[in-house]
Structure formats: structure tokens, C-alpha cells
């Protein structure tokens, strides 16, 4: 089943199933609300300070904006459909600690990215305090939990090297891990449309008869390891050049760049110190196409580790919501 078909099916299921529970909750007590959110986004993946799935660099916290419509079905259960936009970001040059083993590996690797996430989600919200009355007599303070499904579009980008102008380019079309190389055991191109599972906790506070202020923390578990365009191993650089061009080679292996492309700062002194301290060294080899390739031993040759494919990428959305209850009679359409 295609991801888009599965997503639409689950939307219908999540939105329609509460109808069966709503029979004991009279219609005049059900209500619809609309709202907006201002959030912060953080990313967990291969370009973070450590390999822990909880590792994140708060310096790369970026904004997220959202809008939603929500319907109350029962004393505890609501369903919310939302759209949001936000940005994820990471950079080995900034996050990696060159004094520890994992940090040295990441610093030498020298990858970075930014990724704009456009997310459409449907979640069920379960209030811990119920309200069997109308919205006018709802509790002043309500903690809740939520879970659901989301469809999102992403497009990881990175800056080109200093000599190429440090321009932002999309990475998926380049196939930096050999996705477009034929005849080898390489990963398939990843889709820029993916499914995520949102889940989290929140609280709402009643500001007035129709307005609530909320605070929410929600994880998004994804089924892709390419939010940052880093997952598995380096491909054969000669084959990558043939399949995707010179720029793909430069964006795949960035170990010997003296200037950190994302910031424009020099990394030469720290890189040389790591190479001297660890026994790593810059090497030159002849590729299968007869061209010379420069890299650091352990990086940039087919099969060398570039990421950690066993763990999928996550992102976290944390922020405030303002919720307005619509006038009586404005309701979501039924599924028949």
C-alpha cells in the first residue's frame, strides 16, 4: 500500500472512530475549536553531538509554526487535524567534540544540513480530567496525552564547499550515498514524502469562556534515516561521479575541507591536530575511472562508515498553542 493511501486511510479511521464513542455524550456538549501554535524544533539523528537517540544540540533549535482544527467527541477524547512548517538543522563542525572518540569521527566527517519540514497530522487527544458538561464548564487546567499519524515533506540541503560558493543545494537528487549508482549494492533513493508517528503530552489552561492556552511536547518518530541525508556507508566515488557528477562527490565526502561550509570558519588547525593525534592521515588514491581522489583513511572509500542506519531519525516539537472554541453549530462533517 502506498504511503499516501495508508495515510488517508488512517486519517479517516482516527477521525471516524470517535463517533462510536460519542453516543453517550450529547451533541450539544460536543464542540469544534481552531488554533495556532508557535513551537521550537529539534532533531535527533546522525549529525548530533553523540550517538544517543536523545542527543540534540540546542544551538540548532529552530522555529515551527502551525494551525489546526479540533473536535471534542467525548468527555475525554478529541481529534485534531493540523498543518505545520518548521526547520531542522545540524552541523558536525559545531556539534562534534573533537576531544572524544565519537566527536573526532564526526568532526573529521564534517557533514551539515538543514531541512524544512511541512507536516500534516491527525492525532487523538485523551484528557486526564474529563468534562461531562458543555465547554463553558470545562476544567480550568487539563493535562493530556496524544498520539496519531503524520505525513510530512522534507528536503535536506547543505552548502557547497568554499571554492564552489557555499550555496545551498538539495542533497537527495545527488545520491550522496550512491543511491543512483547502478550495478552495485547501494541504497535506493529515499522519498521526500514520509510518514511519522507523533506522540506526546500537553496541558491546557482556560483563559476565558472560549479561549485556552496550551503547552505541548511531542516526539515525531519517522521511518527514514535521511532527514540529514546521512545513513549508511560511503559509495565508490568514481561510480558516484559517473552517476551524479562532481558535485555529488564533493557533497558526499567533506573530510578535507579546510573551511566549514556552513559557517565559513576555518577547521584546518583542529583537523590537523586530530589527524596527528589519532594516526589518521590524508591519502590520495586512484579511482576506477583513473582519476585521483583525496580523503582521510577510513572515510570516503566504498564501505567506509558514514552514518548509522540501524537508528531512524526523530524530531521534537515543543511549544505553545492558543485555542479558540467556535460558536455553537460549527462542526466537522461526519463520515458516512
Q: Is the model more confident about 185 or about 91?
A: 91
Task: Report the percentage of the chain scoring pLDDT > 90.
Answer: 77
- Provide the b/e sequence for 84-93 (b: ≥16 CB within 10 Å): bbbebbbbbb
Q: Does the pLDDT of residue 27 top 80, yes or no?
A: no
> Does the domain formed by 3-155+192-231+310-325 have CATH 2.40.160.20?
yes
Higher pLDDT, 28 or 29: 29
Q: Which of 230, 229, 223 is nearest to 105 (CA)?
A: 230
What is the CB-side half-sphere exposure of residue 210 using CA atoms within 13 A?
10
156-165 pLDDT, tens digit per residue, is: 999 999 999 9
Check residue 330 and give its pLDDT.
47
Q: What b/e string do you get for 181-216 counting C-beta neighbours within 10 Å, with b at 16 or more?
A: beeeebbeebebebbbebebebebebeeeeebebeb
pLDDT at 334 over 80: no
Taking only the tens place, the pLDDT of each residue in 166-200 is 999 999 999 999 999 998 788 999 999 999 999 99
Q: What percent of the chain has pLDDT over 70?
A: 88
Residue 38: half-sphere exposure toward Cβ, Cα within 13 Å = 2
Residue 52, pLDDT > 70, answer: no
The residue-averaged pLDDT of 39-62 equals 83
Q: Is pLDDT of 243 > 70?
A: yes
Round to whole Å and give the CA distance between 40 and 37: 10
pLDDT at residue 335, rounded to an integer: 47
Q: What is the structure's pLDDT at 208?
A: 94
DSSP-derived secondary structure for 237-295: HHHHHHHH-HHHHHHH--TT-SB-TTT--B-HHHHHHHHHHH---EEEEE-TTS-EEEE
Contact residues for 172 (Cβ-Cβ < 8 A; gap 6+): 155, 156, 189, 190, 192, 226, 229
Tell which wins on pLDDT, 131 or 118.
118
Confidence of residue 134 (pLDDT cuts 50, 70, 90): confident
Using CA atoms in the order 128, 146, 123, 25, what is the torsion angle rounded to 10 degrees?
-10
Please tell me the predicted confidence (pLDDT) of residue 279.
87
pTM assigned to the model: 0.88
What pLDDT sits at residue 29?
Answer: 85
Q: What is the pLDDT of residue 327?
A: 75
Can you tell me the distance from the alpha carbon of 286 to that of 288, in angstroms, rounded to the nearest whole number?
7
Amino acid at each position: 500500500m502506498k504511503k499516501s493511501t495508508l495515510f488517508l486511510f488512517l486519517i479517516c479511521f482516527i477521525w471516524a472512530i470517535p463517533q462510536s464513542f460519542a453516543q453517550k455524550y450529547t451533541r450539544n456538549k460536543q464542540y469544534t475549536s481552531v488554533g495556532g501554535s508557535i513551537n521550537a524544533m529539534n532533531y535527533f539523528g546522525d549529525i548530533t553531538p553523540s550517538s544517543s537517540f536523545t542527543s540534540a544540540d540546542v544551538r540548532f533549535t529552530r522555529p515551527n509554526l502551525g494551525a489546526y482544527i479540533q473536535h471534542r467527541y467525548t468527555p475525554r477524547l478529541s481529534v485534531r487535524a493540523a498543518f505545520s512548517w518548521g526547520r531542522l538543522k545540524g552541523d558536525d563542525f559545531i556539534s562534534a567534540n573533537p576531544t572524544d572518540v565519537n566527536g573526532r569521527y564526526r568532526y573529521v566527517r564534517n557533514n551539515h544540513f538543514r531541512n524544512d519540514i511541512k507536516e500534516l497530522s491527525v492525532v487523538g487527544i485523551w484528557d486526564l480530567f474529563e468534562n461531562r458538561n458543555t465547554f463553558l464548564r470545562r476544567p480550568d487546567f487539563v493535562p493530556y496525552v496524544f498520539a496519531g499519524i503524520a505525513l510530512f515533506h522534507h528536503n535536506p540541503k547543505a552548502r557547497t564547499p568554499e571554492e564552489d560558493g557555499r550555496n545551498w543545494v538539495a542533497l537527495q537528487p545527488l545520491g550522496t550515498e550512491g543511491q543512483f549508482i547502478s550495478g552495485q549494492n547501494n541504497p535506493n533513493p529515499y522519498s521526500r514524502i514520509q510518514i511519522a508517528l507523533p506522540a506526546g503530552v500537553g496541558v491546557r489552561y482556560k483563559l476565558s469562556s472560549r479561549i485556552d492556552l496550551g503547552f505541548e511536547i511531542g516526539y515525531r518518530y519517522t521511518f527514514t534515516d535521511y532527514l540529514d541525508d546521512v545513513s549508511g556507508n560511503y559509495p565508490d566515488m568514481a561510480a558516484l561521479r559517473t552517476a551524479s557528477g562532481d558535485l555529488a562527490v564533493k557533497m558526499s565526502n567533506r573530510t578535507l575541507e579546510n573551511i566549514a561550509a556552513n559557517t565559513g570558519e576555518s577547521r584546518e588547525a583542529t583537523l590537523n591536530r586530530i589527524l596527528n593525534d589519532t594516526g589518521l592521515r590524508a591519502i590520495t588514491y586512484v579511482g576506477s575511472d583513473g582519476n585521483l581522489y583525496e580523503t582521510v583513511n577510513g572515510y570516503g572509500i566504498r564501505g567506509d562508515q558514514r552514518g548509522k542506519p540501524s537508528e531512524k531519525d526523530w524530531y521534537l516539537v515543543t511549544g505553545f498553542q492558543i485555542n479558540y472554541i467556535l460558536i455553537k453549530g460549527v462542526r466537522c462533517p461526519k463520515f458516512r
